[in-house]
């Protein structure tokens, strides 16, 4: 096992784990509402203008269809409703052997394994383990921020009231003293 690279993209951190044996295992982290990238590629040298001869299948670990690329076109026609309108591919990248998929609008229940299978003149089998985290600075942090603001406001109010009390005390003492000494 070897840590190859960790890249930040749209709050998604890709951790490529493992050596290049079959299947490739990848860990991806994303925040709720963000998107995740599922890498799926063969070396550019093996494409040689034969993009149409490759079939690419992305499935989740329940066997649901996320999306397919066949004949050089992405066809999400047998796609599970869960993934409807949430998957993008990058057609300009196909000729480089890059059949990357992007899943948008991440939800907590998207956290699972995804299997990408490339078949054709050459093969690839990549398993991506997706983790979906709550966005930092969500409700919890706002609560803490509001709490801090509230305590500052309380402090200022108490400070102000104490100031008035001290001023009144001094003023009364001064008046009383003047009265006592004058008469
Ligand atoms: C298989 O796909 C992964 C993910 O795109 C890539 O890192 C790896 O180099 C590919 N392996 C082969 C033999 O094409
Ligand atoms: C892919 O798209 C091209 C252009 O839109 C079309 O000519 C071709 O028939 C499509 N291939 C498949 C397998 O659907
Ligand atoms: C594949 O294409 C995607 C989308 O353009 C890009 O983010 C990614 O870096 C590409 N991967 C490779 C191995 O070129």
Residues 142 and 102 in one domain: no
**At 119, phi and psi to the nearest 5?**
-125, 155
CA 76 to ligand 2 center in whole angstroms: 14
Among 45, 44, 43, 37, CA closest to 16? 37
- Helix, strand, or coil (residue 123): coil
CA 123 to ligand 2 center in whole angstroms: 22
Q: Mean pLDDT across the stretch 18-36?
A: 82
Q: At 145, is the pLDDT very low, low, confident or very high (cuts 50, 70, 90)?
A: low
Residues 79 and 165 in one domain: no
Which ligand lies nearest to the CA atom of residue 20 in the structure?
1
Q: How far is CA 33 from CA 67, 132, 141, in A?
A: 20, 9, 18
- Per-residue pLDDT of 112-140, as tens digits, reads 999 999 999 999 999 999 999 998 765 54
Among 131, 126, 89, 81, CA closest to 106? 131
Give the range of the structural domain holding residue 50, as residue numbers without chain letter: 3-133
Angstrom distance (rounded) from CA 20 to CA 1: 10
Which ligand lies nearest to the CA atom of residue 98 in the structure?
3
| Helix H or strand E encompassing 36 | strand 36-38
What are 14's strand-pairing partners? Answer: 7, 28
CA 123 to ligand 1 center in whole angstroms: 9
- Per-residue pLDDT of 36-71, as tens digits, reads 999 999 999 999 889 999 999 999 999 999 999 999
Domain boundary, last residue among 117, 133, 149: 133
Q: At 155, is the pLDDT very low, low, confident or very high (cuts 50, 70, 90)?
A: confident
Tokens of 6: 């960790």
Q: What is the tally of structural domains in the chain?
A: 2
Residues 158 and 102 in one domain: no
Q: What is the pLDDT of residue 178?
A: 85
Cβ(100) – ligand 3 distance below 6 Å: yes
Residues 92 and 179 in one domain: no
Query: Residue 54 is part of a domain; what is its CATH number?
Result: 2.60.40.10
Ligand 2 site: residues with CB under 6 angstroms? 70-73
Residues 106 and 157 in one domain: no
Tell me the whole-structure pTM to 2 decimals. 0.68
Residue 90 and residue 100 in contact, taking contact as beta carbons nearer than 8 Å: yes
Q: In a mutational test of the pocket of ligand 1, which residue from 3, 4, 20 has the highest number of ligand atoms less than 8 Å from its CB? A: 20
CA 93 to ligand 2 center in whole angstroms: 16
């Amino acid at each position: 096992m070897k840590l190859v690279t960790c890249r930040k993209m749209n709050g998604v951190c890709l951790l490529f784990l493992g050596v290049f044996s079959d299947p490739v295992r990848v860990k991806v982290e994303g925040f709720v509402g963000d998107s995740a990238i599922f890498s799926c590629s063969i070396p550019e040298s093996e494409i040689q203008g034969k993009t149409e001869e490759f079939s690419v299948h992305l499935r989740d670990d329940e066997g649901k269809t996320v999306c397919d690329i066949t004949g050089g076109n992405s066809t999400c026609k047998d796609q599970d409703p869960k993934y409807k309108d949430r998957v993008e591919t990058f057609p300009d990248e196909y000729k480089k052997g890059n059949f990357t998929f992007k899943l948008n609008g991440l939800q907590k229940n998207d956290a699972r394994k995804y299997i990408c299978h490339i078949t054709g003149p050459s093969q690839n089998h990549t398993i991506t383990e997706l983790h979906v985290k709550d966005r930092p600075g969500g409700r919890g942090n706002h609560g803490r921020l509001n709490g801090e603001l509230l305590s500052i406001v309380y402090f200022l109010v108490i400070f102000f009231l104490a100031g008035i009390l001290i001023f009144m005390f001094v003023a009364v003492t001064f008046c009383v003293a003047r009265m006592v000494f004058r008469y």
